[in-house]
Structure 1
Amino acid sequence: MPMEMGNGTAVQEFTLEGFPAIQHLGKVLFFVHLLAYLASIAGNAVIVTITCADSQLHTPMYFFLSTFSFLECCFINVVIPKLLAIFLSGRQAISFPACFIQAFVFLFLGATGFFLIAVMSLDRYVAICKPLHYPTIMNPKTCFLLVTACFSLAFPLITVLLVKVSQLSFCGPLIIPHFFCDIGSLIHLSCSDSRSVEMLVFVLTSFILLTSLIITTIAYSNIVVTILQLPSAKEKKKAFSTCSSHLIVLSLMYGSCVFIYVKPKQTNRLDSNREAALVNTVVTPLLNPVVYTLRNKQVHRALRETICRMKISR
């Protein structure tokens, strides 16, 4: 249902401003982002496919990784197709319902992803610090419940947030200074008193990010202590290599999201938010397949075997 504006008329659509300073490079930017989009989809889809196809990868770690890759595929499909349309055709209008659906799905998948990262850190903690108890603790039922908990916790938090934003009144011009319907930009357009909503955004996003970050930090602190106690230098190097890959993606995700959302005043630095959001929606999903699994020897083996089976079937 369209929302009321400050003058009593109904909001039918918003205009996504995109990147006005470089809009003249639309065709070039379209192809660059199209390649990144296709590579992200392909990389994450390969992870999901080979994890399902190879029985040797039916382990808790790869279950969480494939779930995370599936989330990433959904996440980039929420934002990038519309950005490509803006670059190629200049079609910047987005209807009011589509805008709020995009904002909800974007935040819901993002919050679920952060909770899932915390679960993945716990999985590595149990595997490295409690190896004898790992099969018992991380059984299939527990893994399924942990993933379900990630979705179940994110849904009410983001629903409450979007319901509050949808109750605001909006004043023209209804131009969103972003390439998607970002929650901070929507609040900025409101002519209502949005201080309580801004504080709610700050509190909820801080809760999501800090909960995930604290769990991840505690898990990896214990992992580092355990690794340092390993007798073999080769084992230490291998373990630290795995951790460093994970931490690269964590730094990108946490850094960009903290910069965008964990600010009491959402009206500041909207231009900078676009660049940070671009990292979060394009760069990070592109890097995830590489740093999480495509560097992994088990995944390389599974990928080679899958390709060989495809060739033989022909």
Structure 2
Amino acid sequence: MELANGTNVTEFILLGFGGGQKKHLSLLLFLTVLYVVTLAENIIIITLVVLDTHLSRIPMYFLLSNFSWLEMCYVSTTVPRMLFDLVNSHGEISFQACFLQFYIFFSLGGTEGFFLSTMAFDRYLAICHPLRYPQIMSQNACYALVAACWIVGFLWFIIPVSLISKLSFCGPNVIDHLLCDPGPLLSLACPPLGNVPFIHQIFVKTVVFINLSCIMLSYSIVIFTLIKTANEGSCRKAFSTVSFHLVVVTIFYGSVAGVYLADLGEESHSEVTKAAALFYTAITPFLNPLVYCLRNDQMKEAARKLFRRMKKWWRTGEH
């Protein structure tokens, strides 16, 4: 990491959002509200699942509560830094902090992909093999699946992030983006880059292909099974659940695909790319809890029960 004149690159500069102070103020208010509401949504989901003994024993809600914790970590990796850069016009970030953000953000993104695959597999078992479902998705199996999602997600990008961090950065050190991303980082690296961009693309495309294949296969079988079922009421309810899950998958992979499946060396981080990054880093985590829980009767009932308990506790405390 040495410049041509022998000096070391100790920090990068994130340009962040363009525009004047008025635009920055609007974005600051928007992102702050979005961040706080996103944290509140996921905290509520975790609280409802943990406090409701019935929900905590159902694999889908156990996975959902862990997914909510993941979303809180995911959004906290990038949005606070964006808020800081909107207030602080300099945008400096140290070399180590930049690559730490890069690694954690991609690891959490990979973990989210594995979680979506696991949740799709859970729906496949529940709908297509209801009699065997309790035995297959036992409590130990759920623990193992959740642990595997986290472990594989955080192991997956160690090699590409390490390879990119070991490249020579000879300046300039300005990143025209909202976060430390492989595209602008590779564009700042001095040639020769060797096979590093190709290796990174292999890792990204492989994890996307594996998870999308599992998700599409699971839901294809589920939809085919639902079409054959004779119970119209249960079929409609299951279709509703599956369609909402597919919305989450479409939102997540649709916003990511255009940015990370392109050739990194040719990627142009324009305002359109920044808008896409804002969508998958901040807006998607805000939408996911709504998509999973907005029409979920069991979550609504758990919320009503919790509200009644709090109301009763409040009245008892008054006396």
Residue of structure 2 in register with 1:167 after alignment: 166
Distance 1:210 1:188 in 2: 25
Secondary structure of 2:13 counterpart: strand
CA distance in 2: counterparts of 1:13 and 1:74, whole angstroms: 24
Q: Percent identity?
A: 38
**1:235 to partner: Cα distance:** 1.9
Match of 1:95 in 2: 94
Residue identity opposite 1:295 in structure 2:
R
Match of 2:107 in 1: 108
AA aligned opposite 2:168: S
SS of residue paired to 1:90: coil
* Residue 37 in structure 1 maps to residue 7 in structure 2: no
1:233 alignment partner in structure 2: 232
C-alpha contact 1:252 1:279 (8 A) present in aligned 2: no
Aligned pairs for 1:1-314 (under 5 A) are: 3-21=1-19, 24-58=22-56, 59-271=58-270, 272-314=272-314
Change in CA separation of 1:148 and 1:5 when aligned onto 2, cut-off 3 Å: farther
Deviations along 1:39-88, one digit per CA (max 9) or x if unpaired, are: 11111111111111111111110111111110000000000011111223
**Distance apart, 1:5 and its partner CA:** 3.2
Question: What is the rounded CA distance, in whole Å, between the counterparts of 2:20 and 2:115 in structure 1?
Answer: 35
Is contact 2:186–2:264 with CA below 8 Å preserved after alignment? Answer: no
Measured against aligned partners, the alpha-carbon deviations of 1:163-211 in whole angstroms (never above 9, x if no partner) come to 0011111122211111111122111111132251111121101111110
CA RMSD of aligned residues (A): 1.4
Whether the 8 Å contact between 2:182 and 2:264 is mirrored in structure 1 is no
Contact 1:6 1:169 (8 Å CA) reproduced: no
Output the amino acid matched with 1:101. Answer: L
| Partner SS for 1:94 | strand
Return closer, same or farther for 1:274/1:23 CA change in 2, 3 Å cut-off.
farther
Structure-2 separation of matches of 1:250 and 1:22:
35
Contact 2:204 2:261 in 1 (8 A): yes
Q: CA deviation at 1:232?
A: 2.4
Aligned partners of 1:90 and 1:286: how far apart in 2?
26
Q: Residues 247 and 22 from structure 1, CA distance in 2 versus in 1: closer, same or farther, beyond 3 angstroms?
A: farther
The superposition leaves residues 97-138 of structure 1 with CA deviations (integer Å, 9 ceiling, x where unpaired) of 111111111001000110111011000000000000000000
Greater displacement, 290-299 / 267-276: 267-276
| 3-state secondary structure, aligned to 1:10 | coil
Does the 8 Å contact 2:42/2:289 carry over to 1?
A: yes
Q: Distance in 1 between matches of 2:97 and 2:6?
A: 21
Aligned mates of 1:181, 1:297 — CA distance in 2: 40
The answer to which of 262-271 and 284-293 deviates more is 262-271
Q: Aligned equivalents of 2:301 and 2:113: distance in 1?
A: 29
Cα drift, residue 305 of structure 1? 1.3
Deviation at 1:266, TM superposition (A): 3.5
CA distance in 1, matches of 2:159, 2:284: 27
What do the CA deviations read for 1:10-32 (whole angstroms, capped 9, x no partner)?
A: 11111111122466411111001
Note if contact 1:6-1:191 (Cα within 8 Å) is conserved in structure 2: no
Helix, strand or coil for the counterpart of 1:15? strand
Gaps of 5+ in 1: none
CA change 1:298–1:222 in 2 (3 A) is: same
CA distance in 1, matches of 2:5, 2:94: 19
How far is the alpha carbon of 1:8 from its aligned partner? 2.5
